[in-house]
Structure 1
Amino acid sequence: LLKLRLPAAMPFIFNALKINSTLALIGAIVAEFFGTPVVGMGFRISTEVGRMNIDMVWAEIAVAALAGSVFYG
């Protein structure tokens, strides 16, 4: 079982890890956006939208996109 199935499954496992690392980043930002009192990317985006500081919002979005691209590979 381990000699045949696990080596055959390794490409699928690593592909899933590659995709899920990016989705975990998105999930963390969305969770911070909706309800955390701690300073993070999502909290900063929601706070700066309230302050109408759109430049900072786009900067945070760009950093999040860059981090997601780096995690994806």
Structure 2
Amino acid sequence: MVEYYQRCVPAYYKGFSEYADASPIADNCVFEMILLIFGYRLVEWYLHTEDDDEKTKRVHTLQKIYEMKTSPTQG
């Protein structure tokens, strides 16, 4: 997930800025959308399961989302 994010998001921003008549995207709106769409669900799933393995998977996925924000997207 993190590798795709690091590769695809910069390409999306570059392609969008080449063809759209708009100012460059300054903030990280793709990351915010990922967090809004998936983060909330992951927390809900974590809260409503009693299976420790499932809780561990949810925490791991949330950690990966956090790493996407803290790792560079240019490379």
Larger RCO of the pair (alpha carbons < 8 Å, separation 6+): 2
TM-score range, shorter chain: 0.3 to 0.5
Bigger CA radius of gyration: 1
Normalising by the residue count of structure 2, what TM-score does the alignment of the two structures yield?
0.42
Normalising by the residue count of structure 1, what TM-score does the alignment of the two structures yield?
0.43
